[in-house]
Amino acid sequence: MGQKIRWGIIGLGNIAHNFVKDLAMVNDAEIIAVASRNIEKANQFASQYHVKQAFGSYESLLQCEEVDVVYIATPHTFHVSVALMAMNYKKNVLCEKPLGVNKDEVERMIACARENKVFLMEALWSRFNPAI
């Protein structure tokens, strides 16, 4: 097996807990960092899931060179700002739905992904369901 894809999680609410459990079933993926605006919450989450690094700010995680891709699990009103910041740090982004709250936000995110040559995707699992 080749090198694992190294994930960071931004926003550590209920959906992030589900994501960690699902990602555990992916052989070539590894969660190496988590971030919350509250360092205690980040430390607790990291301890619960045996994650190597915990950060008390989103930007600190984005500065971590070990992170290849970030999963954004913040409230949807923060998606655009966090995604733009992540992509400007040259991080690939999987963003919880909705990607943005309006067309302008989504267009800005797509433009930023193109400009920085990074991957951007909305976490819409049903798109990959074989039945669909």
| Residues forming beta bridges with residue 104, ordered by sequence position | none
Spot the catalytic one: 21, 97, 103, 117: 97
Q: Is 52 a catalytic residue?
A: no
CB neighbours of residue 32 within 10 Å: 19
Write out the catalytic residue numbers.
97
